[in-house]
Amino acid sequence: MYYSDEVVEEVRAGNDIVDVIGSYIRLQKKGANYMGLCPFHGEKTPSFSVSGSRQMYHCFGCGTGGNVFTFLMEYENFTFPEAVKQLADRAGIKLPEEEYTPEARKRADRRMRLLDINKEAAKFYYVRLKNDAGKAAYNYFKRRGLSDETITRFGLGYSDKSGGLYQYLKAKGYEDEILKDSGLFTFDEKKGVYDKFWNRAMFPIMDGNSRVIGFGGRVMGEGEPKYLNSPETMIFDKSRNLYALNYARQSRESYFLLCEGYMDVISLHQAGFANAVASLGTAFTGLQANLIARYVKEVYITYDSDGAGQKAALRAIPILRAAGLAAKVVDMKPYKDPDEFIKALGPEEYKKRLQTARNSFYFEIDLLKQEYDFSDPEQKTRFFRETAKKLLQFSDELERRTYTEAVAKEYQISFTMLNRLVEQYGSAEMPGEVQKETEYRERKRKKPEEGYYTSQKLLLTWLTTEPALFQKVKGLVTAEDFTDGFYYEAAKEVFEQYEKEGKVTPARILNRYETKEEQTKAAELFQTTLLGDLGETQKAKAFAETVRKVRQNSIEMRMGRAAETGDIEAMQKAVTEQASLDRALAKAGL
């Protein structure tokens, strides 16, 4: 799908990035920019910055960044045309008739064919379940208490021992090239092609629009692994999807039930709890939490009641909190999970457990308390010190004070004393911990590129941040001096924008790129942190050194090319420019 540069820019300009991102996550004004918790990785200290003046965002923790299109592509898992369409609708902009570039058409067709393959595979597995070969899997589902209606609703199936899906899809006209990308087969030079799923009860995984995007399979009888999921493909990303979201999003409840397994979800749905979802064979992620936050504001964690389930709940709680979701934890004891609970006690008793679900923070403190012996004054003191540190996770003062009062009352400690501990750690120990976390993020964020390429990136940042500096480098640096191909293309656009309009809009440059990877890479060119705390003299010196490095590298590159080609005239010109570099810099006031 293709939209002209003018249309894309009209849509971008019609959607203020602060408003758009602010509709997904909570942003707070900090100086000239807005800060919030990054929606793309778990964090406790906000490092996600949104610039209204530059119309770009950047996370100093994970390094992601871009413009308003990039954000929707990353957050919603949209393609570039889908992001343009969504934002055009938001701004009330009528788009022209859709046109596809050959590349975009190819991607769209491939995506549709993969969806078709998964749909056909789901039908194949469902039919197999109802045949004699699928009796073991069918009986397994019936033993688990599932009705035929539920089996049909969730499209449950069976992959038999003899395989057969490959031959079935080949007969449908699908080529090996596309079948390789489906994740349903293993292509081995020696063994040939064979189905990835065999002798397994099959659980089709659907996206929010009920399209089959992958599968989970439980082995029948002995075998490892017990559960096997589709690998990630063009249409399946485990971290961005939730099992049964297509049904849960239609529920009228104001909360979701978050489970660990497929059977837990299906059992709850059959029992009337149509708001149950589960992560897909992987640890719960921030992207999944953000997905939930589109539909509800509260989550009831209903994980296994064993130690592993409790640890998983502890990991999920801060992720949910970072997404702005309130969380409670449902007690399944003495049963292992929701599936067993429902079978043993029924839906009404489960409803009662929901009504008595524990506030997630109290759940954390309850588990913490189990680590200490309250009959020992020293251990009891350590418990309250650790509790005080945990209370610091509430950045809002009123919320923190409310929780402090509640904890003090429940664990019979003076509010004044506990609050004093919280303030003590907040003013002394915690800043050090925050500093360590910040330093860790900075180390993680740094890339191995040094020297000239770093200078080229930095110079682009200088020029886009302070356009008046273009006059300083006029006649000294041009787009041709940016020697890396990617940097050159960006610099060319930057210089052209300034020449035509007297200003630069970095967010507009990102419109040139259609994939998330390209947009993120382009965004990095304008996100190098400038040393804002430097004095004017130090800034001027730093800028001059940056220009020198860019220019020096350009000259050296041209000298190298001239030497390789034997171009004596080009060599002499480069040598002359090198010899007069200091003079040229001085003339430019650098």
What is the Cα–Cα distance from 311 to 320, expressed in whole angstroms? 15
| Per-residue pLDDT at 440 exceeds 50 | no
Residue-level pLDDT at 516:
64
Contacts 24+ apart (CB under 8 A), 179-185: 179/117, 181/110, 181/114, 181/233, 181/234, 182/114, 182/117, 182/118, 182/121, 182/233, 183/214, 183/230, 183/231, 183/232, 183/233, 183/236, 184/117, 184/118, 184/121, 184/215, 184/230
| Per-residue pLDDT at 225 exceeds 70 | yes
| Range 575-584 average pLDDT | 80
Q: Could you check whether the bond before residue 318 is cis, i.e. omega within 30 degrees of 0?
A: no
Instruction: State whether the Cα torsion 86-88-90-92 is positive or negative.
Output: negative
CA 171 to centroid of chain Cα atoms? 38
**Of 80, 61, 71, whose CA–CA distance to 5 is shortest?**
80
| Per-residue pLDDT at 89 exceeds 80 | yes
What is the Cα–Cα distance from 111 to 114, expressed in whole angstroms? 5
What is the Cα–Cα distance from 262 to 217, expressed in whole angstroms? 10
| Per-residue pLDDT at 488 exceeds 60 | yes
**Of 299, 414, 297, whose CA–CA distance to 359 is shortest?**
299
Nearest 5°: phi and psi at 202? -105, 135
Please tell me whether residue 1 adopts helix, strand or coil conformation. Answer: coil
| Range 244-257 average pLDDT | 93
Query: 81-85, 514-518, 561-565: lowest mean pLDDT where?
Result: 514-518
User: What 8-state DSSP symbol labels residue 165?
Assistant: H
Helices (H), 26-175: 68-75, 80-91, 102-130, 135-143, 148-153, 165-171
What is the Cα–Cα distance from 422 to 430, expressed in whole angstroms? 10
Segment 30-80, tens digit of pLDDT: 888 999 988 887 777 888 899 888 888 988 887 788 889 989 888 877 878
pLDDT band at 499 (very low <50, low <70, confident <90, very high): confident
Share of the chain above pLDDT 90, in %: 45
| Range 552-558 average pLDDT | 83
Residue-level pLDDT at 535:
66
The position carrying tokens 């629009």 is: 209
Query: 118-122, 202-206, 336-340, 445-449: lowest mean pLDDT where?
Result: 445-449
Please tell me whether residue 450 adopts helix, strand or coil conformation. Answer: coil
Mean pLDDT computed over every residue of the chain:
85
What is the Cα–Cα distance from 291 to 42, expressed in whole angstroms? 14
| Per-residue pLDDT at 122 exceeds 90 | yes
Residue-level pLDDT at 433:
43
| Per-residue pLDDT at 448 exceeds 50 | no
User: What is the Cα Rg of the chain in Å?
Assistant: 29
* Token output for 550: 């860019």
**Of 525, 577, 530, 570, whose CA–CA distance to 553 is shortest?**
577
Segment 313-370, tens digit of pLDDT: 999 999 998 888 999 999 999 999 999 999 999 999 999 999 999 999 999 999 999 9
pLDDT band at 436 (very low <50, low <70, confident <90, very high): very low
| Per-residue pLDDT at 134 exceeds 80 | yes
**What's this model's pTM, rounded to 2 decimal places?**
0.64
Is the separation of the CB atoms in 10 and 103 below 8 Å? Answer: no
What is the Cα–Cα distance from 114 to 211, expressed in whole angstroms? 11
What is the Cα–Cα distance from 386 to 390, expressed in whole angstroms? 6
Residue-level pLDDT at 537:
77
Residues 6+ apart with CB under 8 A from 480: 488, 554
Is the separation of the CB atoms in 445 and 527 below 8 Å? Answer: no
What is the Cα–Cα distance from 195 to 182, expressed in whole angstroms? 11
Helices (H), 347-429: 347-355, 360-369, 377-391, 397-410, 415-424
Residue-level pLDDT at 211:
93
Between 535 and 489, the more confident residue is 489
Burial class (CB in 10 A: 0-12, 13-18, 19+), 540: middle
Share of the chain above pLDDT 70, in %: 91
CA 109 to centroid of chain Cα atoms? 25
pLDDT band at 262 (very low <50, low <70, confident <90, very high): very high
C-beta atoms surrounding 24 within 10 Å: 18
Residue-level pLDDT at 1:
54
Residues 6+ apart with CB under 8 A from 397: none
What is the Cα–Cα distance from 319 to 287, expressed in whole angstroms? 9
What is the Cα–Cα distance from 458 to 448, expressed in whole angstroms? 15
Is the separation of the CB atoms in 269 and 276 below 8 Å? Answer: yes
Query: 28-37, 77-86, 263-272, 383-392: lowest mean pLDDT where?
Result: 77-86
Segment 92-112, tens digit of pLDDT: 998 887 666 677 678 778 989
Nearest 5°: phi and psi at 212? -70, 125
Residue-level pLDDT at 435:
45
What is the Cα–Cα distance from 385 to 367, expressed in whole angstroms? 15
pLDDT band at 129 (very low <50, low <70, confident <90, very high): very high
| Per-residue pLDDT at 511 exceeds 90 | no
Specify the DSSP element, H or E, that contains 472: helix 470-473
Burial class (CB in 10 A: 0-12, 13-18, 19+), 491: buried
DSSP E strands in 297-336: the ranges are 298-301, 326-329
User: What is the per-residue DSSP string for 47-84?
Assistant: -EEEETTTTEEEETTT--EE-HHHHHHHHS---HHHHH
Question: Please, which residues bridge with residue 28 across strands?
Answer: 35
Residue-level pLDDT at 309:
93
What is the Cα–Cα distance from 422 to 529, expressed in whole angstroms? 33
Residue-level pLDDT at 2:
61
pLDDT band at 570 (very low <50, low <70, confident <90, very high): confident
Segment 177-209, tens digit of pLDDT: 999 999 999 998 888 899 999 999 999 999 988
* Token output for 425: 């750690």
